[in-house]
Structure 1
Amino acid sequence: MFSSSVSKRTVLVSILAVVALQLFFIRSVTSVNETNAYLYHKCFEKDGKYKPKSLYEENINFLISNVWKNASVKDYIYGIEGERPNTAYLAIQCRGDSYGSKCDTCRATAYSELRKRCPMNKGAIIWFDRCLLKISPNTFQKKVDLKNKFYMYNNRKKVRDPVSFNAKTKTLLTKLKKEATRGGPEREFEVYWLYEQADMKLDGKMKLYGMVQCTRDIGQKGCEKCLDTIIGELPNCCDGKEGGRVVSGSCNFRYEIYPFLDTKR
């Protein structure tokens, strides 16, 4: 995957359905963690197009410039603007360790790139290493999005003992899921982080590093469902690979055998 010091080649595979996993494309990506690499995007053609200087475009522009600016917490934003048929919905989620200027920069980059890659599309989603951005003419709050999904894995040779490594990877990610969603009844998404990171000792001096995260609008129960689903896809995405991730519109996980997150605020 991506390292802060060494650039590694990866393979990106798109998953078009929750149950039937269909190969969409294979693409090599080379990056360094600090560059906030572009990962993938999808234009929702069924949502239609908007015209330049239309009410829908004004509403999207308002959300991207004003809702973010006025928000008290700026790592996750869900906004609504306008009346039907020009209502616009927008969500921005920054990675749990990407705060302050890193989150601001990713948000600005994501919006600029989304407009280039999905020009005039009313609905679209784009993922970067540090954030995701989603726009739509329809509400998606509290709806678990497992349809828009892809995975990435480290293209190096497999580990020596893939069976043991796979088991330890699943154990770590399952533990992180429980930590990220711990607590009693479901809480409001504004105060429920739905993010966790940790490491696990492997043989010798090696460590396994992992993280899980959900968009806060889906809440505790939705996050559990989302993470259970993508963690269950480990054999399909990353069998014996030294690093990998599954990313959807509502949740994602990543693991590596090297540190890949910022640990200091």
Structure 2
Amino acid sequence: MVFPYKDIVSKAIVVVITSLWLLSLSTEAAAPEYLYHICGSNTTIYYPNSTFKSNLNLLLSNLSSNNTPNNLFYNTTGGSGPPGAAYGLFLCRGDVTINVCHDCVLNASQEIIQRCPKEKVAYIWYDQCMLRYDNRSFFGTMDESPKVYMWNMQNITEPDRFAQLLGDTMDKLANRASSDRSLNDQYVNRFATEDVNFTRLQRLYSLVQCTPDLSATDCNRCLRVAIGDLPNCCNGKKGGRVLQPSCNIRYETYPFYEIKATAPSPSPTPPPAPPLPISSTNPRGKGKLSSEIIIAIVVPVGLSLVLLAIGFCLLSRKRRRKYNVVEEENVGDEITILQSLQFDLSTIEVATNNFSSDNKIGEGGFGLVYKGILADGQEIAVKRLSKTSSQGAAEFNNEVVLVAKLQHRNLVRLLGFCREGGETMLIYEYVPNHSLDWFLFG
């Protein structure tokens, strides 16, 4: 006798599988997540009707239309060669599908022109891919700059132990990614991930990747440079990443890449159960009871799986929104600003007569203010911040860049900063005391 609950179970399983499949399709179809872009300097610009513009259009068309199976990396040239040729490549994250990679590259090739409308050199990073082009050939060349730092604003517990675990994990990944592992006839796959336990309830997820056209030595060197930058940008943070043209690294305390679990070996198929005896007094009653039990078990379990999958996706997106990023470039922008604004401690000590009490001109909750005179005769005001401040180097550097950009005729100009020997100071131009109406109307 065939019980009706078998059909119900089959339909419930089909509903669960279909729901999970549709959910995975909707997740995969999400738009690429833009991170950052950098345009070249004003010395490398092109004109709308130039040969380079035509070659660049050809290059971007070739990059975005490349559909080679299993190819998450591609480099090519627009034009027959210099002068006027355009060189470019894309690199997709090693765990994404070909469709996600293609969508990301297509989006990047369109947006990079809008963000860098006249520069011959441009870089754009997404969470799923990066794309760059240049008026010079850079294939097979390791480029450390420009670079972008990003970090999670949430602090990690036990930062020293976390830093040790992160360093050991990144070291292992750098060695693994730079080893020669065949990707196809031309390139090797320079991509590696690792997840390890940090605490009983928290894990560390890490990723490193190089462009496959690099040699093993150059890939290892590029990753080592990026790893060495982590303490400066992301010390004590729950997540961070360093983006460079030739390689990138990232770590988080939640999974941000596709984790390929090792499937357990299949257990032997149990022998079929003997047919259940049918009661002569109530043959349908037992069938009905079994059907109700199966429905009561299968339907809630199926719904729970669907809700669990939806909740996981929403949680991942929420975590991603919490990832407040602060970017620093190594060329032409914030890093250059920081380097140009940095004063030596010895210079400030000489200017303020070793922070003499005679030079003190103000005091507040943040610390003391001293008047100083630089070697060229310029008068400065040194705001010496309290040593009890809990502000980290990353937050301080970010504020310096922000204040430096906020130049206005009614604002006292920031000349630079000093963070050395346990001291944290801001150096402003010295302005004699005046009333507010003097600054506004005088």
TM-score range (shorter-chain normalised) is 0.7 to 0.9
CA offset at residue 227 of structure 1? 0.5
Q: Which residue of 2 aligns with 1:63?
A: 59
1:212 aligns with 2:212: no
Q: Greater RCO between the two (CA within 8 Å, min separation 6)? A: 1
**46-55 or 35-44, which moves further after superposition?**
46-55
Distance 1:241 1:50 in 2: 41
Aligned length: 230
Q: Give structure 2 stretches of 5+ with no counterpart.
A: 1-28, 261-442
- Choose 1 or 2 for highest CA Rg: 2
Which of residues 76, 101, 104 in structure 1 aligns to 2:102? 104
Note closer, same or farther for the CA distance 1:129–1:187 as it changes in structure 2 (3 Å cut).
closer
Which of residues 90, 94, 119 in structure 1 aligns to 2:117? 119
Residues 64, 106 of structure 2: 8 Å contact kept: no
Q: Which residue of 2 aligns with 1:51?
A: 47
Deviations 1:223-254 (A, max 9, x none): 00000111111210111111111111111111
Structure with more helix by fraction: 2
Deviations 1:138-160 (A, max 9, x none): 0111221112101111101x222
Which of residues 191, 195, 199 in structure 1 aligns to 2:191? 195
CA offset at residue 63 of structure 1? 2.1
**57-66 or 90-99, which moves further after superposition?**
57-66
CA offset at residue 208 of structure 1? 0.6
Q: Which residue of 2 aligns with 1:77?
A: 74
Distance 2:96 2:183 in 1: 23
Q: Which residue of 2 aligns with 1:163?
A: 160
Stretches (4+) displaced over 4 A: 186-189
CA offset at residue 181 of structure 1? 1.4
1:38 aligns with 2:20: no
SS of alignment partner, residue 106 of structure 2:
helix
Distance 2:71 2:125 in 1: 17
- Between the aligned residues of both structures, percent identity stands at 35
Structure with more strand by fraction: 1
Deviations 1:145-204 (A, max 9, x none): 112101111101x222100000101111111111111249x9999331110011001221
Distance 2:128 2:101 in 1: 7
The alignment's TM-score, normalised by the length of structure 1, stands at 0.80
Note closer, same or farther for the CA distance 1:68–1:59 as it changes in structure 2 (3 Å cut).
same
Distance 2:96 2:217 in 1: 24
Note closer, same or farther for the CA distance 1:68–1:109 as it changes in structure 2 (3 Å cut).
closer
Residues 47, 123 of structure 1: 8 Å contact kept: no
Distance 1:172 1:34 in 2: 30
**64-73 or 204-213, which moves further after superposition?**
64-73
SS of alignment partner, residue 103 of structure 1:
helix
1:261 aligns with 2:235: no
SS of alignment partner, residue 254 of structure 2:
coil
Distance 1:125 1:235 in 2: 24
